[in-house]
Amino acid sequence: MRAATTIKHRFTKEKFHRFIFGTREKQGVGRQTVVYLLLICIGFVYLYPVLYMFSTSFMNRDDLLDSSVKWLPSTLYLQNYIDAAKSMDLFTNFCKGVLIAGLPTLCNVLICMCIGYGFARYNFKGKKLCMGLLIFSYILPSQVTMIPTYVLYNNTGILGTLWAFVLPALLGNGLNAPIFILIFYQFFKQVPKVLMEAAAIDGAGHFKAFVRIAVPSAAPAIITVVLFSFVWYWNESYLTEMYVQGLSTKSVWTNLVIQLKNFDSAFQTKASVGDTATSLNESVRMAATSLTVLPLLIMYFALQRYFIESIDRTGITGE
Amino acid sequence: MSMKNKQPKTKVKLGKLEKREARAGYFFIAPWLLGVVLFLLYPLAQSFYYMWFNIRITPLGTKFNFVGTGNFTQIWLENPEFPQQLVTYIWQTIVEVPIIVVFALIIAIMLNGKIKMRGFFRLIFFLPVIIVSGPVMNMLVSEGAASIPALNVQSVVSAFDTFLPRSVAESVGEMFSNMIMVLWYSGVQILIFLSALQKVDPSLYEAAKIDGGSNWECFWKITLPTIKPMIMLNAVYSVIFLSGNEQNELINMIEAAMFSGTKEKGYGYASAMAWMYAIVITLIVGLFFLLLGSKKDVYDRQVKKAQRAQKKERRLQKKIQRRGKRNARNIESKLKSNKYRTHESSDNY
């Protein structure tokens, strides 16, 4: 009798409610389970294309046709990768891709840093106008300026060379440069002005103050910009195909993404010669896709900390 | 007293030091200025010029043939695909952007709680940003990897079909069949929201809790207003991203028109397309600006209103004073010339 009442006392309705929904101080178990469940479900949906890509890329023809094989291939079949790599000319195009993405990134970082510093540190006439122009250049789709730019490149002879990407980056108009300039702008605004004044008193000129004081303190912003710029240049196929490869001239400059775009026809010509062991099927295409994505994925997992903390550290969201 | 409220701003001439500083600023942004002229303003003007012409490239050189609005009539009347795609694009963007933003916000709020393995989840949700590129997406979409496995697309489309016009339902249906791709576009937005959420002052929540506010109320009254600028930022970012994305048919169409060999197409035709496209994008961005732009809060607005009323009153007073003085002067001068005949020792006129 007494035991029953204590048990009843122990498991009251409020306690149960508190256990499930939590109190103000502590999250309840029920609520937490729901959050975790949702996150895991959405996370799976998010990863679904990538998982599908990898699992399909290892399947041989029998696995593809066999409806009982859904996720795990019956054997580890690597021929898809070998064929895809052959067809895409993996190594040379990978190196070219690194060059195409790397050089403009370098220019982007250096120049955007200068410009961001100029905007953040100095007050000059027409600064507001310039900032407006910066935002405008971001909102404006590149298609509007694409045609005359193409003509310009064509006339100056830099179409189909790496200069078509490097030159705009050198002049602060590279891919997504407005974002990077704004990131540096935000960052340099947080550098205390006192520091600059102290440097000036110690005899540092404008440039020296920039190089010696502003740049070393901007390491997080630099990392962010390098990573994003590289990734965006790497993934840009539209403009790369237009300017660096030259749509009509077809120079030697291509990268993996463009190769993937033209994968089907390239593979079929190879297959018709008998260079490949398989015919074009979805596992070969998925293998090609994963080969394209793989360098970035490796980079992402190696540098994940910098990627994820990047946005925190740029101070876009304000302090 | 009210007169001294606000002193008129006097323009101070810049000193020598400030002038030199400003010059250094120009020095730092000089490359960008040059770049803007070379890669933004000049091409912009040029393509504005191009769109009134029919341009053909012949072995003898480029031939410009003035057609006036010919390119536009050509696009709208004889190329049914472009207007159609434009409408589809508008609908898709208007539907997709709120989905992306709301989804990002929900994920960010979930990740903002006390959660173990937050880093792991952030890693997953940011992953698409790294690998999303036109051809990769095309590959995944064409293999059917982009639709949520459990979602029955057909039923969704038919449900929309019943109450929406045909073209809208189609574009919405297309979006649902590539739902994962839409969700994939929200990687950057999630991180922006997350970092904004973490900067909301916790003492605000504490104060609200003491006053008896529930979590729900806290979200609407504290979280949302605080991160409102970020919502707009994310919406604009999403619009821009969707517009430059290679999944977008329109930009491929512009490219195709640019290098098309047919008589009426070419650079001029493509320029006209691109300009229309740019105007549409600007309008959509403007729309989100209007919807989400930061309106000043009630207090600010009332202060502004009061200030305006004060200013008006002051101006009125001044006017009355001036008029009084003028009248007095007039009367005095007329009195001197004896034009007024008044009663002696009377002040009433």
> Taking a C-beta distance cutoff of 8 angstroms, is the pair A200, A209 a contact?
yes
Please, are residues B189 and B132 in contact by the beta-carbon 8 Å criterion?
A: no
Pair A143, B254: CB distance under 8 Å:
yes
Q: B6 falls in which pLDDT band (50, 70, 90)?
A: low
Residue A8 has a pLDDT of: 59
Please count the helices (runs of H) and the strands (runs of E) in chain A: 19, 0
pLDDT tens figures, B197-229: 888 888 988 898 888 888 888 888 888 888 888
- What are the structure tokens assigned to B148, written together? 């949520």
Give the architecture-level CATH label for domain A89-261: Orthogonal Bundle (1.10)
Please report where in the chains the tokens 């996370």 appear, as a residue: A43
Q: Which residues, including other chains, have CB under 8 Å from residue A19's CB and lie 6 or more apart?
A: A28, A29, A30
CB nearest to B149's CB, from A24, A35, A48: A48
In 3D space, the residue among B159, B243, B232, B164 whose CA is nearest the CA of residue B192 turns out to be B232
Determine which of B115, B123, B133, B217 to mutate to test the interface with A (most A C-beta atoms within 10 Å).
B133
Q: Which of residues 124-143 of B touch A (CB under 8 A)?
A: 124-136, 138-140, 143
Whole-angstrom Cα distance, residue B37 to residue A124?
19
Say how many C-beta atoms besides its own lie within 10 A of residue B144's C-beta.
13
CB contact under 8 A, A147 and B274: yes
C-beta separation of A53 from B137 below 8 A: no
Instruction: Identify residue A178 by its one-letter amino acid code.
Output: P
Q: Does B151 touch chain A (CB under 8 A)?
A: no
- Six-digit token string for B85: 């795609």
Q: Which of B209, B267, B109, B196 is nearest to A248 (CA)?
A: B267
b/e string for B11-33 if b means 16 or more Cβ within 10 A?
A: eeeeeeeeeebbebbbebbebbb
| Residue-wise pLDDT tens digits, B23-68 | 888 888 899 999 999 999 999 999 899 888 888 777 777 778 888 7
Backbone angles phi, psi at A303, to 5 degrees: -110, 25
The stretch B158-165 carries a mean pLDDT of 73
Assigned token pair, A252: 């030697």
- Between CA B316 and CA B295 the distance in angstroms is 30
Structure tokens at A168: 């705009």
Query: What mean pLDDT comes out for the span A86-101?
Result: 88
State the Cα–Cα distance between residues A316 and A307, nearest whole angstrom: 15
Token pair of A41 as six digits: 């479900």
Taken in order A197, A201, A206, A209, is the CA torsion positive or negative?
A: negative
Q: How many CB atoms lie within 10 A of CB A315?
A: 18
Is the pLDDT confidence value at A140 over 70? yes
Within the 24-63 window of chain A, which residues sit less than 8 Å (CB to CB) from chain B?
A: 24, 27, 35-36, 38-39, 42-43, 45-50, 52-53, 56
Counting every residue written for chain A, the total comes to: 319
pLDDT at position A111 over 90 = yes
CB A101 within 8 A of CB A296: no
Nearest Cβ partner for B143 among A142, A282, A308: A282
Euclidean distance between CA atoms A253 and A240, whole angstroms: 9
Q: Which of B18, B37, B39, B205 is most worth mutating to test chain A (most A CB atoms within 10 A of its CB)? A: B39
- Residue entry with tokens 């069949």: B177
The average pLDDT across A254-271 equals 82
Phi, psi (deg, nearest 5) at residue A236: -75, 115
CA of A148: which chain B residue's CA is closest? B43
Report d(CA B157, CA B85) in Å as an integer. 19
Tell me how crowded residue A35 is: count the other CB atoms within 10 A of its CB.
17
Residues 190-209 of A with CB under 8 A from B: 206
pLDDT at B3 (0 to 100): 46
Mean pLDDT within A230-243:
87
- HSE of A295 in the Cβ direction (CA atoms, 13 Å)? 18
Say which range, A137-151, A192-206, A300-314, B92-106, has the weakest mean pLDDT.
A300-314
Quick check: A122 and B28 CB within 8 A?
yes
Of the candidates B202, B172, B43, the residue with the CA atom closest to the CA atom of residue B112: B202
For chain A, percent of residues with pLDDT exceeding 90: 12
**Beta-carbon separation of B31 and A170 below 8 A:** yes
> Is B133 within 8 Å of A286 when comparing Cβ atoms?
no
Q: Is residue A186 a contact partner of residue A314, using CB atoms and an 8 Å limit?
A: yes
**A74-101: buried (b, 16+ CB within 10 Å) or exposed (e) per residue?**
eeebebbbebbbebbebeebbebbeebb
Q: Which of B193, B187, B192 is nearest to B131 (CA)?
A: B187
pLDDT at residue A90 tops 90: no
Answer yes or no: do B236 and A139 touch at CB < 8 A.
Answer: yes
Q: What are the residue boundaries of the structural domains of chain A, listed by start?
A: 14-82, 89-261
* Residue A316 touches chain B, beta carbons under 8 Å: yes
What architecture is the B79-263+279-294 domain classified under in CATH? Orthogonal Bundle (1.10)
A132 touches chain B (CB under 8 A): no
CB contact under 8 A, A48 and B148: yes
pLDDT at residue number B113: 78
Average pLDDT, chain A: 83
Q: Which residues in chain B belong to E strands, given as ranges? A: 53-58, 61-66
Are the beta carbons of A148 and B42 separated by less than 8 Å?
yes
Q: CB neighbours of B332 closer than 8 A, spacing ≥ 6?
A: none
Mean residue pLDDT of chain B comes to 82
Q: Is A117 exposed, middle or buried (0-12, 13-18, 19+ CB in 10 A)?
A: buried
CA angle B268, B272, B276 (to 5 degrees): 165
CB–CB of A56 and B115 under 8 A?
Answer: no
Q: Is the Cβ of A80 closer than 8 Å to some Cβ of chain B?
A: no
Q: Determine whether the interchain pair A43/B267 forms a contact, defined as Cβ–Cβ distance below 8 Å.
A: no
Per the CB < 8 A criterion, the answer to whether A48 and B141 are in contact is no
Is the pLDDT at B76 greater than 70? The verdict is yes
Q: Do residue B31 and residue A115 have CB atoms under 8 angstroms apart?
A: yes
* CA-angle at B4, arms to B1 and B5, nearest 5°: 95
Stretch 228-287 of chain A: residues touching chain B, C-beta under 8 Å: 231, 234-238, 242, 247-248, 257-258, 260-261, 263, 282, 285-286
Which chain B residues have a beta carbon less than 8 Å from that of A231? 129-130
Name B8's bridge partners: none
Cβ(A199)–Cβ(A209) below 8 Å: yes
Q: What is the pLDDT of residue A181?
A: 92
> What is the reported pLDDT for A319?
46
Q: Would you say residue A318 has pLDDT above 60? A: no
